[in-house]
Amino acid sequence: MRRAIALCALLAISTPARAQETEDYTVRRGDTCGQIARARYGHSRRYDLIHQANPELGPMPHHLTPGQVLHLPVLPDQSAADATVTAMRRTVRHQRPSQGEWTPSHVGQDLNQGWRLSTGSESTAELSFRRSSAATIREETLVIVYGTGVERVRHEGSRAVVRQGSILSRLRSLSGADPDEPLEVETPSARATLRDGESQVDVDESGTTRVAVHTGGNATVTTAEGEGAVQVRPGHGTSVQPGQRPARPRPLPRAPRWVPGPHRFVGLHDGGGTIRGRWEEAPRAARYRVEVARRRDGRDLVIATAVPATVREMEMHRLPPGTYYVRVATIDDEQFEGRPAQPIELEVVPAELIAPGATTPLDLTNPDDPYGLEGLDDGLGDLDHVGVSATPPRVPRYATLMLPDDIRCRFGASDPVQQLRLVDEGPLALTCAAGDEEVGGLAMQVLASSARLEDREGHTLETLPRAETAVRVLLDPSIRDVSGLTLLAPEGVAVADVGPHPDGGIEAVLTASEAIEAERVVVRVATSDESHLPIADAEVALAPGAVADTPPPPPSVEPEPEIPDPHGLQEAFGLAAFASMVGLRDERRSGSGMHLALSFASAESMDPDAQLRVTGGARAAFLDDYLRVEVAVPLDLASSANRTANRGSRDVYFAVSSRVLNEGMIGLAVEAGIWAPTAGDQGLDRGRLMIAADFSLRFLDDDRLAVRTRQAGVFDLVGSGSVLWSSAYGFDVWIAGPLSAGVELDLSMGHEDGVDLAAGAVGAGLALDLG
């Protein structure tokens, strides 16, 4: 009854009553002004006619009691239409018999004999037939109105073919009307006479008709020609296949049981709330039909959908505050839909959001009914509450959330509170309760606010003059109440006349002093209390000040940036001197120094003993590393080298090199060297010339990865001597500090000792660069 009171109070139209023909109506239990107007005049918002004809009701709100007699005006065109659209959701269209064009329908649309009404995908419409019956036309169904009956067809291409659809009838006679006035429904294979109560008629693609009686009186079902009549009592259904008589009525599947859970859910006025629910598995269930409506009897649908039997829970987001009724019915393998379970009442209770620094809730057009849902006949059902993103509503940082008086919420391990200031940015999920009752919590996204300065003309303020300047500070649209906010500015910028701007935001007068040397200033929006909580900052350039007489300071000379030395790379094979092989060298290594390398080679067929060689050397750099001189001497600690390729112990290798390129990621050096046969027959026993080039590419931050190669030509300084091409390939990774590691492949091929030579080596090494 409280809803009826609110409904009458919100939408009443004050016009004087006028004398006209009326008929008496006896109030039944649960009647409201809107419900009677809906049944009598086709629209709940026509209860103003009832108020005009019944001045004895007195001032609103009106308390209707069972047995009370009301005088209902008889409108001149009341009986002209055979049916009227009294509710609809999403896409509903109608077509006149003589026209091929379809026109969008609206609540209150009259339909006469032969008119068609079509519903689209996920769409429904409610038709009221004359005075006593109503039918819900489900999705993708086309209805042709014939007096008090309908024939359902499906529109297909350019023609209408009797095929399939679904209709749910709800018959409830007004007092004084014929209680047995039926609703006739014809299908391709059957004819159903539906009486008082709730019944459903479905036709599938094969033309088979199913009639299910949920409540009320029996339904009479025959073939399309009126033969083989059967009586279907409540809780039962029958099917009629094309060309056959109606089957024996069978029990309908039982509705599932609702799993206990929260019946109230916290939401926001502007952001809505999320409702959730679950139900138990029902016997014989192949699917479930779930309907969420604004009215207990299933009207004013918000959503209606069928889900597989494996789905036994629902969740809907962004629902405006209010009460919703969830009905779940079972559909069995024979496609019979049983009577829905008793509607489960779920409520989204609104929490108030107080703007930062304010003391009153955000201004709403109608705090008692901000969405106008009390008198809703259509509109809410047009919203996609299933496909809508589950992204939580965004609220400004430092706003205060005020919950209903009996609800307390907490986040994390905090204590439950009735009032909560949103301090931390990021996602916030609240767990709520009302005493021992569990209440569905609220999820939000807390965001920092932004601010922008405008001048008097409404243009973005790019530069703040050094004079009195009237400004307007624009904030996020979510912050509408600025009564508890003020402006703060740095020293040298005076703030005056702070207050709410008529068009939103904050207005003030800023005066920047000539003494300020900064190029930009930040104006802060903060709470006006002692805490001065920072709400948002607006940065603006400051106009140049007056020119001073003092000479300008000398220009500063910025020191040249220091270029860090490259990371040292491993040279384990490159520093081990061999006459016929080369290893990788670090062409970017700078400065002078000494080195010591130890190498080991297993015995070959011509060398019965393994070779253990130690190489010592020194390098001197001149002219910023454009000239480098190097000398190295190898010494075999163990060897019986018979091949020239393995000789050279105690010979001296002397080389001159130059770092040609050291730009960015590229490095290049060239080298010319000569082996001096200082060990005589025990060494190389001949002079040997080597011309080499080292090239590298370095990648990633801090040259962490390097790809390198060394290419060399080797020539003996004697007639008919060796001619070789030696090369090395590899990559290195700088690990940390002075440590790096690398792998390489060394190759040598050509003519040596009178035979063709092809040799190779693979290895890995570590480098410890101590500067």
**Looking at residue 390, which CATH number applies to its domain?**
2.60.40.10
Q: Is residue 560 part of a domain?
A: no
User: Is the predicted pLDDT of residue 60 greater than 70, yes or no?
Assistant: no
Residues 438 and 464 both lie in one domain: no
The model's pTM: 0.54
Range of the domain at 676: 593-768
Domain contains 142:
no
Q: Is residue 371 part of a domain?
A: yes
Burial of 344 (0-12, 13-18, 19+ CB in 10 A): middle
Q: Does residue 194 lie in a domain region?
A: no
Q: Write out 18-73 in H/E/C secondary structure.
A: CCCCEEEEECCCCCCHHHHHHHHHCCHHHHHHHHHHCHHHCCCCCCCCCCCEEEEE
Claim to verify: residue 471 and residue 393 sit in the same structural domain: no
Residue 238 has pLDDT above 90, yes or no: yes
Q: Is residue 505 part of a domain?
A: yes
Tell me if 237 sits within 8 A of 249, measured CB to CB.
Answer: yes
- Most confident range, picked from 53-67, 174-188, 515-529: 515-529
Domain C-terminal end among 393, 412, 445: 445
pLDDT tops 60 at residue 35 = yes
Q: For residue 156, what pLDDT is reported?
A: 31
Number of folded domains that form the chain? 4
Split at pLDDT 50, 70, 90, the class of 61 is low
Q: In the prediction, which pLDDT does 389 show? A: 55
The residue out of 24, 50, 73 marking a domain boundary is 73
What pLDDT, on a 0 to 100 scale, did the predictor assign at position 2? Answer: 29
pLDDT interval class at 45 (50, 70, 90): low
pLDDT number for residue 29: 74
Same domain, 441 and 461: no
Query: Residue 611 contacts by C-beta under 8 Å, 6 or more apart in sequence?
Result: 600, 601, 603, 636, 638, 639, 641, 646
CA 533/CA 284 separation, integer angstroms: 61
> DSSP characters for 85-145?
EEEEES-EEEE-TT----EE--TT-EE-TT-EEEE-TT-EEEEEETTTEEEEE-TT-EEEE
Q: What is the pLDDT of residue 147?
A: 55
551 vs 224: which has the higher pLDDT: 224
Q: Kindly state the average pLDDT of the residues 92-97.
A: 90
pLDDT at 549: 46
Highest mean pLDDT of the ranges 299-308, 382-391, 426-435, 761-770: 426-435
The answer to whether residue 766 scores a pLDDT higher than 80 is no
346 and 474 in a single domain? The answer is no
Banded model confidence at residue 393, pLDDT cuts 50, 70, 90: confident
Answer yes or no: do 526 and 434 share one domain: no
**Are residues 329 and 469 located together in one domain of the fold?**
no
| Mean pLDDT (whole number) for 556-584 | 72
CA–CA gap between residue 477 and residue 396 (Å, rounded): 10
CATH number, position 463: 2.60.40
Taking the alpha carbons of 450, 455, 458, 461 in that order, is the dihedral positive or negative? negative
Per mean pLDDT, which range of 15-24, 458-467, 526-535 is the poorest?
15-24
pLDDT of 1 over the 60 cut: no
Q: What is the mean pLDDT of residues 318-333?
A: 92
- What percentage of the chain exceeds 70 in pLDDT? 81
Looking at the fold, whether 440 and 294 belong to one and the same domain comes out as yes
Q: What is the pLDDT of residue 220?
A: 94
Residue 176 falls within a domain, yes or no? no
Is residue 460 located within the same domain as residue 441? no
Reported as a pLDDT band with limits 50, 70 and 90, residue 47 is confident
For residue 78, pLDDT over 80 is answered with: no
Query: Do 416 and 464 share a domain, yes or no?
Result: no
Say yes or no: 675 and 738 in one domain.
yes
Whether residues 285 and 406 fall in one domain: yes
**Is residue 691 situated within a structural domain?**
yes
The CATH number of whichever domain residue 57 belongs to comes to: 3.10.350.10
- Of 45-59, 171-185, 287-301, 446-460, which gets the smallest average pLDDT? 171-185
Select from 73, 103, 136 the last residue of a domain.
73
How long is the chain? Answer: 771
Label residue 206 by pLDDT band (50, 70, 90): confident
Domain assignment present for 129? no
pLDDT tens digit string along 154-178?
333 222 233 467 777 776 544 344 4
Same domain, 482 and 608: no
Phi-psi region of 357 (alpha: psi -120 to 50; beta: other; left: phi over 0): left
Mean pLDDT of the chain: 80
pLDDT at 548 over 60: no
Q: Coil, strand, or helix at residue 646? A: helix
Q: Which of 388-397, 589-598, 663-672, 723-732 has the highest mean pLDDT?
A: 723-732
Nearest CA to 650 out of 693, 683, 617, 610 is that of 683
